[in-house]
Amino acid sequence: MAKQIHPTAIVEPGAELGDDVVIGAYALVGAASVIGPGTVLHHHASVEGFTAVGAQCELFPFTCIGSKTQDLKYKGGRPGVRIGDRNVFREYVSVHAATKDGEFTVIGSDNTILAYSHVAHDCQLGNHIIASNSVGLAGHVIVEDYVGLGAKCGVHQFCRVGAYAMIGAMSKIVQDVPPFIIADGNPAIARSINKVGLERNGFAPERLEAVKQAFRVFYRAGHNRTQAFESMHAHALGSSPDFRHFLNFVEKSERGVVAGR
């Protein structure tokens, strides 16, 4: 289908637009940017820099994708942003380019980023993430698939958030959040497994049991970290994929993981 470009929009020479793209009033697409088929930029949305946006995304008014990093270590070059398909960016969301030449801030597919949220330089986001209003992700944050980020929560640079985790509103994340759990507070601590979220995503009882056991051994058995790892490796459910995912995540943590109660 034909592209629909409002007469007041600015599409700089060199920009690549896929089929059925809609560019609203006063929107901007920079010269080095690529917009996938079926993507919609509402009025005043902007995509600039070395940015590629996938198919069927929707950028609401005043979204700003691909701007120069705020990292003071930026030395020039062509860092950029790579975004997958079917993502929604609500009003005033900002996604900044990576810092180093040739590197990218990456967002996967099927994510919903609500108004006023910020994804900083070099973040790596997976798929099916929901970030509520005014979420702040600092530089180099990694967010795995199916994570829920509550309104106004903030994640410190270089932290990781594991798959299917839920971060409570206004929480302060300064260490890694293991997969499958609810973390809440300032600073956030591990409260419980994300049982409702897991059930909504189709986790069968045996998967829930594996997650529950991993959480109990790591957070509730009174072990220190070394003891917890030893106990988890020896656990009867240690070979199950979800138990293993939890264990691998916490073993690889460089910043440490959020504390238990």
Task: Check 36, 139, 148, 168 and give the catalytic one.
Answer: 139
Task: Check 71, 85, 122, 242 and give the catalytic one.
Answer: 122
Burial class (CB in 10 A: 0-12, 13-18, 19+), 211: buried
DSSP state of 127: S
Nearest-angstrom CA–CA distance, 188 and 171 = 6
Cis bond before residue 7 (omega within 30° of 0) = no
In a 3-state reduction of DSSP, which class is residue 142?
A: strand
* Two tokens, residue 21: 């793209």
14 is catalytic: no
Longest CA pairwise span in the chain (Å): 65
139 is catalytic: yes
154 is catalytic: no
CA distances from 218 to 96, 178, 204, 249, 254 (A): 35, 10, 22, 12, 17
* Two tokens, residue 113: 């980023």
Task: Check 42, 44, 118, 121 and give the catalytic one.
Answer: 121
Q: Catalytic residue positions?
A: 121-122, 139
